[in-house]
Amino acid sequence: MPADLVPQVLAGNRRALARLLSHVERGEAEAALKALYPHTGRAWVIGVTGSPGSGKSSLVNALTQHYRANGETVAIVAVDPTSPFSGGAILGDRIRMRDLSGDAGVFIRSMATRGSLGGLARTTRDMVRVIDAAGFDRILIETVGAGQSEVEVARVAYTTLVVEAPGMGDDIQAIKAGILEIADVLVVNKADRIGANQTARALKTMLELGHPAARVYHHGQYMTVEAAPAPVAEWIPEVVMTVATERKGIAELAAAIEAHRQHRLRDAGPFDPQALRAELFERAREALFQQWLQTLSPDTIETLIQRMHQRELDPQTAVQQLLAPPSAQEHGHARP
């Protein structure tokens, strides 16, 4: 029984933790999750997202070493994509985290998305909570290589890093909606490469367009705006340049994360009511759907699909018929 593992997980048993995480991933640990929830809220959860090859794993590796040097324990949840064809996956993030091997203060868990599209797996949030309850100081979530719209991590992490490598595209890419909007800290990794300064500049300009600033970066220099706007309490993301493989800029990155943590602790705190509302609705939606699905006969569904296939029935009407009370549903089977 997964729930039997709870006391061992709370006592810091790594094997029990690993086992329980598997149960959570398979969706069979409701009771354990309930029992562990009161023990959560201690770890600071940091999300690391960005395009494939931007250096997320190397950055996680370097950041973890930084925290370990400060005596903090670190757990890493690294997500890689599941094949849409076979359902299998290659989870390869550990390759770039070999420096962390053999350190009892580090726990690394790889997971596959198993069909989710938001950059995380459906169970990542629950796994993070279990790890939190197990007593780690920092939890780093590494998303799949993300494009523009995989923004799920911002709802699970308390501080979100968006990692860019030089050469991200022009500055219109930088003001498009999506992934850059969720950044609390923007990281230009591989900053020793050509174009790093341009990328950092494009990101800074993007931030200034959204946040009225007293001085703007224009023609290569900072210029004072005539009427400086009143300072706002809102968090303005920082842009940090790093070379993760050489540990450059990592202390600055950790400082930016800490600044954001302090800001968030003054503001909503780790458990943001908005994120909790979204979670509650999401879970309720899933539960209601499953409950409702049980009330339907497979025949009803097949008949509707067949009629949609024959172009006799449009999808909108099909849904209306599914949602109609049973007596009306039977009526729906008859041809009009």
Residue type at position 54: S
> How big is the CA angle at 143 (ends 25 and 286), to the nearest 5 degrees?
45
Residue 3 interacts with other proteins (CB under 8 A)? no
CB of 178 to other proteins, least distance (A): 28
Of 92-100, 213-221, 246-254, 272-280, which part binds other proteins (CB under 8 A)? 92-100
Residue 318's Cβ-side half-sphere holds a number of Cα atoms within 13 Å equal to 16
Residue 84 interacts with other proteins (CB under 8 A)? no
Site string for other proteins, 226-255 (x = CB under 8 A): ------------------------------
> Which residues ranging from 156 to 175 are in contact with other proteins (CB under 8 A)?
none
Nearest residue (CB) to other proteins, 28 versus 302: 28
Listed in sequence order, the residues at least 6 apart from 120 whose beta carbon sits closer than 8 Å to its beta carbon are 79, 113, 141, 143, 144, 152, 153, 156
> Which residues ranging from 63 to 82 are in contact with other proteins (CB under 8 A)?
82
- Residue the block writes with tokens 């994360």: 257
Residue type at position 49: T
- Residue 48's Cβ-count burial label (10 Å; 0-12, 13-18, 19+) is buried
Residue-wise burial string across 146-172, b where 16 or more C-beta atoms lie within 10 A, e elsewhere = beeebbbbbbbbbbbbbbbbbebeeee
Nearest residue (CB) to other proteins, 101 versus 310: 101
Of positions 12, 15, 218, 236, contacts other proteins by CB under 8 A: 15
How far is Cα 47 from Cα 60, in angstroms, rounded to an integer? 10
> Which residues ranging from 25 to 54 are in contact with other proteins (CB under 8 A)?
25-28
Site string for other proteins, 100-139 (x = CB under 8 A): -xx----xxxx-x-x-------------------------
How far is Cα 68 from Cα 4, in angstroms, rounded to an integer? 30
SS3 state of residue 318:
helix
How far is Cα 105 from Cα 98, in angstroms, rounded to an integer? 14
How far is Cα 60 from Cα 62, in angstroms, rounded to an integer? 6
Nearest residue (CB) to other proteins, 83 versus 149: 83
Nearest residue (CB) to other proteins, 88 versus 336: 88
Residue 88 interacts with other proteins (CB under 8 A)? yes
Residue 310 interacts with other proteins (CB under 8 A)? no
Of 87-95, 171-179, 308-316, 325-333, which part binds other proteins (CB under 8 A)? 87-95
Nearest residue (CB) to other proteins, 26 versus 283: 26
Of 85-93, 193-201, 211-219, 273-281, which part binds other proteins (CB under 8 A)? 85-93
Listed in sequence order, the residues at least 6 apart from 220 whose beta carbon sits closer than 8 Å to its beta carbon are none
Residues at the contact surface with other proteins, assessed by CB under 8 A: 14-15, 18-19, 21-22, 25-28, 82-83, 85-92, 94-95, 98, 101-102, 107-110, 112, 114
